[in-house]
Amino acid sequence: MGYFVEAKQDVKIFVEDVNPAGEHTLLFIHGWPADHRLFEYQFNVLPAMGFRCVAIDLRGFGHSDKPWEGYSYDCLADDVRSVVDALHLRNFTLVGHSVGGAISIRYMGRHGGHGVSKLILLAAAAPSFVQRLDFPYGLSKDDVDRLIEATENDRPKMLRDLNGMFFFRNIGEPFADWFFQINLLAAGYSTTAVLVSLREETLFGDVASIRVPTLILQGVHDEIVKPQLAAVLHKSIPGSKLVWLGDSGHGLFWEQKEKVNEEIIGFVC
């Protein structure tokens, strides 16, 4: 079932809601530069296991509205809160991939984890996506600047080239085209704006506020969110569980989908 929820600034956020009668609710937040369809291989399995699977398209991506402004972590986290309130979600597990993980962490800090009972971070772009003077992990700012330049000059080529960086395992042409078409649906300016947020924003304070059981899944071959970030998150979140995925890059939701689904089921139940 798909429908729209109105967020701040009259922005309509697309929501996919599968198995609303499920015993356990999962709210999925996708990463850059895609939309909720990245979680197809979780939605194919988890509803049959008794889960209600809810996923959103972030503003600027997928079927959601594409306003010119509103791509800060604060605003994106507020959009998540709008969905949580509209659907009256309580005692749910928040699942974020990449920048979706960063937004999930900002939600935990900015909204006090409202309604969240457990947190799952899939290759989360946190606590800082880029290297800083006091934080030597992640991509360099120059790396992100090159992605921004490529997006602004030839976004289709950037998206085609992204496959080699995103996935560790070889992907066939049909899957590559599927992934390309998902990413192409975003607005060019929103694709750039989220990259700017990834480059400029940090989440150290938000991470420190997390008090719910947390599962961290990380591909060891990830070239986008460097594996050291997962180690830092694990150290920073008391009682968190870190699972390394030895055959995955950034696309762990597909590259080791069976393992990811198994870990989600075991953690939530």
| Catalytic residue list contains 134 | no
- The catalytically annotated residue of 30, 36, 63, 250 is 250
- The catalytically annotated residue of 36, 65, 222, 248 is 222
**According to the 3-state scheme, what is the secondary structure of the chain?**
CEEEEECHHHCEEEEEEECCCCCEEEEEECCCCCCHHHHHHHHCCHHHHCEEEEEECCCCCCCCCCCCCCCCHHHHHHHHHHHHHHHCCCCEEEEEECHHHHHHHHHHHHCCCCCEEEEEEECCCCCECECECCECCCECHHHHHHHHHHHHHHHHHHHHHHHHHHCCCCCCHHHHHHHHHHHHCCCHHHHHHHHHHHHHCECHHHHHCCCCCEEEEEECCCCCCCHHHHHHHHHHCCCCEEEEECCCCCCHHHHCHHHHHHHHHHHHC
- The catalytically annotated residue of 17, 30, 98, 190 is 98
| Catalytic residue list contains 177 | no
| Catalytic residue list contains 209 | no
Which are the catalytic amino acids?
Answer: 98, 222, 250
